[in-house]
Structures are given as C-alpha cells and as structure tokens.
Amino acid sequence: MIKIKPYMAVSIFSLIVLPVFAAENTIDNLLQEYQAAGAAQGNAQRGEVLWNKTFNGNKPYAQRSCKTCHSSNVKNHGKHIRTGKTIKPLAPSVNPTSLVKSKNIEKWFKRNCKWTIGKECSAQQKADILIFLKQQ
C-alpha cells in the first residue's frame, strides 16, 4: 500500500480537483455572460431539443444537426462528417478536457452554429446547449 504524503495529496488535488473547479467556473462565467447579453437562465431540456434538431443545409449534407458530427450520445466519440476525424466526447463526465476553456467553447459555437443552423447561435441557444452538455 502506498502511503500518501502531504505533497502527494497536494499534487493529486491540483491535478484532479482543480481542473474540475476550473471547468465549473468557465461554464458559470459563460452563462453569466449570456445572461448579460439578454438570455434567460439556460434550460437543459431546451438545449437537448436543439441538440437533436435537424436543419437544412447545402448538399451533400442536406440534413444536419449537432449529432451529425458529435454522435447522438455525447458520451461517445464523434466523427467529423467530411474528414472522418475522430472527435472526443463532449460530455465532461467522460472527457474532463471538454468545456474547460471559454475561448474554445465560443470558437466552436461560432463555427458550428454557422455550419449547422446557418447562422450564429443566440445567447439563449448557447446557454441552453451549455447547460445540457454540462450535465452529461
């Protein structure tokens, strides 16, 4: 049995526990920003509906949704529809590096909303999706 020394406890804490706090903060900060931009409180159910909603787009991907690349279960790996590249699961419960940096979250919202929905997502839509994903 390994005896846990104080420095080990500190490093375990900083390696495992701190990133989780950081992720929590990131999401909460973003949610606050969305509210400041006029969104009501995020709603996970609404987020889930939007996640699964199909939109029209240009061929060859005439029907597209978040699931097109991220798979219908966000705990699974996704696959980029065009390039086939594997996409890590978005659910923080299985992928602790997901939803950690607000810069990345915003970047992907911008790119992917434009591709999937055809325009940038509203603050409300982003709040809903983020709450939904956070709980996965």
Partner 1 sequence: MKYPVLIASLFLTTTVVSIPVVFSDDERREYRQRSVGVAAVNLPLYKEECGSCHMAYHPGLLPERSWQKIMAGLESHFGDNAELDSNSTKIITDFLKKYSADKSSYRRSTKIMRSLVKNDSPIRISETPYIKHEHDEIPDKMIKRNQEVKSLANCNACHTTAEKGIYDEDNVKIPGYGKWDD
For partner 1, the binding residue among 82, 96, 97, 135 (CB under 8 A) is 82
116 and 80 in contact (C-beta within 8 Å)? no
Pick the closer one to partner 1 by CB: 90 or 131: 90
In angstroms, how far is CA 16 from the centroid of its own chain? 19
81 and 57 in contact (C-beta within 8 Å)? no
Pick the closer one to partner 1 by CB: 55 or 61: 61
Q: Which whole-number Å values give the CA distances from 68 to 13, 26, 31, 100, 120, in the listed order?
A: 37, 26, 25, 23, 18
114 belongs to the binding site for partner 1 (CB under 8 A): yes
Compute the distance between CA of residue 55 and CA of residue 9 in angstroms, rounded to an integer.
Answer: 49
53 belongs to the binding site for partner 1 (CB under 8 A): no
Give the nearest distance from C-beta 115 to partner 1 in angstroms: 5
- Mark the segment that binds partner 1 (CB under 8 A) among 22-30, 36-44, 109-117, 123-131: 109-117
Give the nearest distance from C-beta 59 to partner 1 in angstroms: 10
